Amino acid sequence: MLAKYANITLTKSDIGYYVLNNLDVLQRKATPAEVIEQIDKDRKNRIERKVHTDGKASSYDVQHINEQINYLELANLVIIDDKDVSINPNEMETVQMFADEYNSDPMFDCSAYNFDTVEGRKLFSQKWNEYFSTLSNVSDKFATSIQALSPTTEDKKEDKKKSTTGNKVELGDEGEEFIFEYEKKRVSAFNARLASKVIALGKQKGLGYDIQSVVAEPGDKAEYVKYIEVKSTKRVTAPDIDSTTWYDTLNITRNEFVAAQQHGDYYAVYRVYFTRDGVTVFVMNNIKKKYEDGKVEITPLTYRVDFSSKAVDSVLDTSIGG
């Protein structure tokens, strides 16, 4: 932000040398204003500084720098243009929050977890989700709207107007609508007569699925009912399905899990990713079987407590002091 005010375009090398590889900056002994002042001074004196370790290839120094900057891009907070890095103006509320808190301790201690093991990464992910869903009073500022994923150029304005998604409910609605339209086209292409059997049921509570469709594949089960639960999320880029370390997390309700158990092969979860490049959908059939085979993990995070008057020990007199 200070670089923008000073009319300075930061590069990956600038961020790497003056910030990510500068212990005084990382320990908050040097302020952001001092960093920008030094960058401006060096540029005026035509001094170019880069991280370099004697006896090591350049990749040794830049790998961790590029990874950190890539994380910022994946969080949709910056836009990278070749070597230049700038703030994503669509995410100014979140950027401003970080700017206001730059001199405070982190709200979550990432160093307490072991990222060298799958178990450690999963524990971190679980604790991170628990913290920002239950404790943090700023969690809403980490929500990225679908339109915020789009570059802020004139030719994108009309596309941005079409999408009003700004919260989880609207995101879910948009994901369900996308899959509903997809299923109608898929089923109609197989047999136009069956298209009317694709029904959007997301607004009906307690069913355990959002869309009722049909199998619509060659064979004697073509007209069998197919139950689809849609889970939508936003990412800057689509997941790499070929990656051996990638995994994702989604939440399902008790009704959804019961429906998955009841309908087996005919129940599917459609994971919808809205990204800068479009929409990617992963399909997981028969979650119940995958759970039994150890291909997915299902962890209860909340418990419903049903009680009657027999369990009540006392009733507070709330009129005290009134």
86 with 10: CB under 8 angstroms? yes
Most confident of 102-106, 182-186, 237-241: 182-186
N- to C-terminal Cα separation, the chain: 50
What's the whole-number mean pLDDT along residues 67-80?
Answer: 88
Per-residue pLDDT of 190-222, as tens digits, reads 999 999 999 999 888 889 999 999 999 999 999
247 with 297: CB under 8 angstroms? no
What local confidence, expressed as pLDDT, does residue 153 receive?
Answer: 41
Per-residue pLDDT of 246-256, as tens digits, reads 888 888 888 99
Q: How far apart are CA 86 and CA 78, in angstroms?
A: 5
Per-residue pLDDT of 267-307, as tens digits, reads 999 999 888 778 889 999 999 999 999 898 888 777 667 77
For residue 155, pLDDT beyond 70: no
What local confidence, expressed as pLDDT, does residue 35 receive?
Answer: 95
- Pairing, β 267-275 against β 225-234: parallel
What are the DSSP E strand ranges found in the chain?
10-11, 78-81, 84-87, 199-200, 211-214, 225-234, 267-275, 278-285
At residue 158 the predicted structure's pLDDT band, cuts being 50, 70 and 90, is: very low
For residue 86, pLDDT beyond 70: yes
What local confidence, expressed as pLDDT, does residue 171 receive?
Answer: 66
For the chain, what are the domain ranges? 2-92, 105-142, 168-292
At residue 322 the predicted structure's pLDDT band, cuts being 50, 70 and 90, is: low
For residue 87, pLDDT beyond 70: yes
Per-residue pLDDT of 91-148, as tens digits, reads 888 899 888 888 888 778 888 999 999 999 999 988 888 887 666 666 667 777 777 7
224 three-state secondary structure: coil
Place of tokens 């991170």: 128
Per-residue pLDDT of 4-50, as tens digits, reads 899 999 999 999 999 999 999 988 899 999 999 999 999 999 998 88
Q: How far apart are CA 137 and CA 95, in angstroms?
A: 16
Neighbours of 203 (CB within 10 A): 9
What local confidence, expressed as pLDDT, does residue 306 receive?
Answer: 73
**C-alpha 227: how far from its chain's center?**
25
Q: What is the CATH number of domain 2-92?
A: 1.10.10.2090
What local confidence, expressed as pLDDT, does residue 157 receive?
Answer: 41
What local confidence, expressed as pLDDT, does residue 160 receive?
Answer: 39
Is the sign of the CA dihedral 200, 203, 208, 210 positive or negative? positive
- The residues, ordered by sequence, that sit 6+ positions from 272 with a Cβ below 8 Å of its Cβ are 175, 178, 179, 230, 231, 232, 233, 279, 280, 281
- Least confident residue range of 70-79, 156-165, 270-279: 156-165
